[in-house]
Amino acid sequence: MTKYLLFMLAAVAMADTAPIADENLRLGALEAVFPGMRISMAAGKRIDDSWPDEPRPRQLNAPDAMAGESVYRVAGGATNEAEKQASSQVVTGKSSSTRLVRFQLLPWPDRTTVLAVLQYNFEDAIPPMACPSIGILVQLANVAGKWEVRDRYLLETTHHFSLQTVRLTSLGTGADELVIESDFGGADTWGTNLMVFRPGPKIEQVFETTSQIVYKTEEMFTQVLDLPRTIDLDGKQVCFTKTAMFENGQPLNPVVASHVCYKLDGEVDRQASQERNKLLAPQ
């Protein structure tokens, strides 16, 4: 019986908090994020940027965490530099004003705010790869029955197309934290970063590491979050199962699996984050 109770307690500790499903609350959140814009659900439309179609173990895998979410059309001109870039049309020069938005609305553990995790691009746009689409976190507070934006956090924009992971879960610190995995790219490079954000009056990033990477045939590895081990360490370190397929230009056959843990704050580049988030300044 004792073992069963311990198992159940561990299972509860590792359970994710579900997103808010109430459509009225969701629409209210969108109206706060995109004030004064025309918002409508794109009935029957789905977007799934997952690849490959049939993932294989010990290979790169990019599931689309928003694949099951409704798509909303949000009409209105670009409001900041990030949107100006993402809405541009490099062929015709005519920018798009219609966003295709997918999002999850999560109950922030402070119980006074919610967090919207949004992924969107602009319909018919052909933007530069510096910002082809937008992944953004928006913290909302309920003020007199209406949502108001308290804080925003722009994720990496370079060659960004989708979010691979969105989880509100306990890492062992005693409160839920947000785990986000977001893709990026560049010259002969594709990868994902896994980040952890802590609840508070502002959106606070406390962890980041590269969770998948491929660079030509020089380097290729994946890191999968080891939640039980992270919880065992009270969330003071974030642990992974790492699988390396290429290293220093050499294929590894068999692949090399290892277990690694990283300290909080160790790889968070706050200066780069601050520079990137200047793209959200109103225009």
**Per-residue model confidence as pLDDT tens digits over 174-185:** 899 999 999 999
Query: What's the pLDDT tens digit per position in 53-75?
Result: 887 777 898 999 999 999 999 99
Q: How many CA atoms lie within 13 A of 60 on its CB side?
A: 19
**Residue positions counted in the chain:** 283
Q: Is the per-residue pLDDT at 2 higher than 80?
A: no
Q: Is the per-residue pLDDT at 279 higher than 70?
A: yes
Q: Among candidates 67, 102, 86, 84, which has minimal Cα distance to 157?
A: 86
At 6, is the pLDDT very low, low, confident or very high (cuts 50, 70, 90)?
very low
Rounded CA-CA distance 177/206 in Å is 10
Give residue 14's pLDDT: 61
Model confidence, pTM: 0.92
At 36, is the pLDDT very low, low, confident or very high (cuts 50, 70, 90)?
very high
Give residue 59's pLDDT: 81
